[in-house]
Amino acid sequence: MAEGKKELSMEQRLLLAFVLMGGVIFLSQYLLPKPPQPAAQQKKAAEPAKKQEAPAATPGAPAAPATPEPATLVSGQQAEFPVFENALYRVKFSNKGAVVMDWELKKFTDNNGKPLNLVNGENATQLGVRPFTYQYKDQKPSAELNDKLFAVTRSADGITFDYNDGATVARKSFRFVNGRYLVEVDSAVSEKNAAITHALVWRGGFGDHTVPKAYAAQFAVYLPPSDSSPTTFENSKASDGPIANAGSYVFAGLQDQYFAAVALPKPGQTIELTALSDSLPEPPKSNDRMPFVGAGLSIAGRNQFTMFVGPKDLDLLGETDKRLVSLVDWGWFGWIGRPLFAALRWLDSSVVHNWGWSIIILTIVINIALIPLKLSSMKSMKKMQTLQPEIQRINDKYKGVGFNDPKKQEQNKEVMDLYNKHGVNPAGGCVPMLLQFPFFIGFYKVLSVAIELRGTQWYWVKDLSQPETLAVRILPLLMIGSQFYLQKMTPTSGMDPSQARMMLLMPLMMGFLFYNASSGLVLYWLTGNLVGIAQQLLFNKLMPASPVPQIAAKKKGK
């Protein structure tokens, strides 16, 4: 794929599908207006925050260590790769530049079933830049610290790196909070006792780099204290050069779909976030180069902050800082995505203990709740069937009249008068579809942001948050077949054969869109189709086809 080519997001594809379906319904009813295109989502302009309220103190975090300058020359004698490991992390460092080589989350695996490494090793090797590399904006020290060997001091809760050549003095320490996804970072650099402001940089992408198109879900992010949702930088925005923003932010750093590495500055601190972009092959050794996100974090004089590096789990985020929960983006339909997630989590933890069956049960409950509206829609469609001969007579009367012809308005008026006379709502058949749309997008967002669903299995599906890994994906094919059957058995309000054939193309279009969608979303739609088939069989039995009106019989006799 060429660099810079922007693909439609899944939400945009789904919205387009519903717009097209609405268009077909318009053709079948002759009167329905075209659905308006949704307004583009407005993004908040990045603005520096003026003053931040003091964030809640991190519980259990140790006080930052003092950084006295050693009186004697200090450096490493040979290359070392110290490892810090606890119940949550396995972090491998290098004393060359005091950087991170690997940052593994022990309770999570990547798309290949291996321990999840938040560092993209391939990209870091190509760039020659590892996480927490030094970067300078103005003054630089006389020593190139990224190439120097630091002395290593291990402790029970972390690792400290020191360097002193008599002119340049540097210390970088990482102290991990036991049982929490928190690390205290402290980095100081001075030249002849004068502090040098520097950034700690993470480039080449962040998070699970084994999922398809991982670069597309990676962002630099920060939250001004006056905002309710964070500002994000897409990986391509900084392709023309770094973008720097500074303020008393609640947090700032990097995130992907399910994980985050963000700094939590102390009260009154001003932190600068520099968004970076690197054009790198995707996948490795490919000719296609894609923009991978990066970020630098800097506090004037000395970098001293707590970092949250871990999963975007709502409970964990809330325990760390209540405003961290804004990292979980529920999108436009968060008002329904949040209760859907709460219901799914309750079903999984208290009833079936399986996310796939939780999706199925919740889908059935939603469809049962919509039965009264579907019955009303069916009655409206039945009435329209009885009026079809009259509508056909009006259409024959104005046969050959173009859409821009003034007589077209007379035709529409006659049809509308006919509907009003018999109490028919021509839009009644659209109601169930429109009501499903918020639930549909809600399920899509839940599967996109809820880390609890990441890696969950359901029979042959290895991960409900991702497409099936089989050569031929079973759920999308079942969905297409059930959609065809449901379409065939649903009354078409007497539409002509060409329009009926257009309606039968809808399952193919939906199958095309769903083939690369998450398996959980396809499972939701497939379940809805199966429930719809059962309901349609019941409706057809309760409300059999209406007899042909007398007017049609008279016309035939003539």
Per-domain boundaries in the chain: 10-36+337-390+427-557, 83-331
Q: What's the pLDDT at 380?
A: 75
The side-by-side arrangement of strands in the sheet containing 83-85 is 83-85, 89-94, 99-109, 115-117
Q: What's the pLDDT at 30?
A: 47
Question: How many Cβ atoms from other residues are within 10 Å of residue 10's Cβ?
Answer: 18
Q: What's the pLDDT at 495?
A: 53
Task: Tell me if residue 266 falls in helix, strand or coil.
Answer: coil
The C-alpha angle with vertex 198 and arms to 195 and 201, in degrees rounded to 5, equals 155
Distance, CA of 352 to CA of 76 (rounded, Å): 56
Distance, CA of 456 to CA of 433 (rounded, Å): 29
CB 443 within 8 A of CB 521: yes
**Residue 383, both tokens:** 């009435």
For 83-331, CATH number out of 3.40.640.10, 3.30.70.260, 2.70.98.10, 3.30.1490.190 equals 2.70.98.10
Which residues have a Cβ under 8 Å from the Cβ of 365 and sit 6 or more positions away? none
Please state whether beta strands 198-202 and 243-247 pair in parallel, antiparallel, or not at all (unpaired). Answer: unpaired
Which residues have a Cβ under 8 Å from the Cβ of 106 and sit 6 or more positions away? 87, 88, 89, 90, 115
Q: What's the pLDDT at 413?
A: 87
Distance, CA of 101 to CA of 463 (rounded, Å): 28
Over the chain (558 residues), the average pLDDT of each successive run of 10 is 49 62 52 41 39 42 46 89 97 98 97 94 94 94 97 97 97 97 98 95 95 91 93 79 93 96 92 95 84 95 96 96 94 90 96 96 92 78 78 83 80 85 72 76 89 94 92 95 86 57 78 90 94 87 59 42
Q: What's the pLDDT at 487?
A: 81
Q: List the end-to-end C-alpha distance of the chain, in Å, as a whole number.
A: 64
162-166: long-range contacts (C-beta < 8 A, 24 or more apart)?
162/70, 162/74, 163/74, 163/75, 163/76, 163/98, 164/69, 164/70, 164/72, 164/73, 164/74, 164/75, 165/73, 165/75, 166/73
- Least Cα distance to 520 among 475, 469, 481 occurs for 475
The half-sphere exposure of 319 on its side-chain side, counting CA atoms within 13 A, is 15
Helices 497-504/506-514 angle, 10° precision:
10
CB 495 within 8 A of CB 332: no
Which residues have a Cβ under 8 Å from the Cβ of 30 and sit 6 or more positions away? 391, 395, 412, 415
Q: What's the pLDDT at 33?
A: 43
- Least Cα distance to 186 among 55, 309, 103, 66 occurs for 66
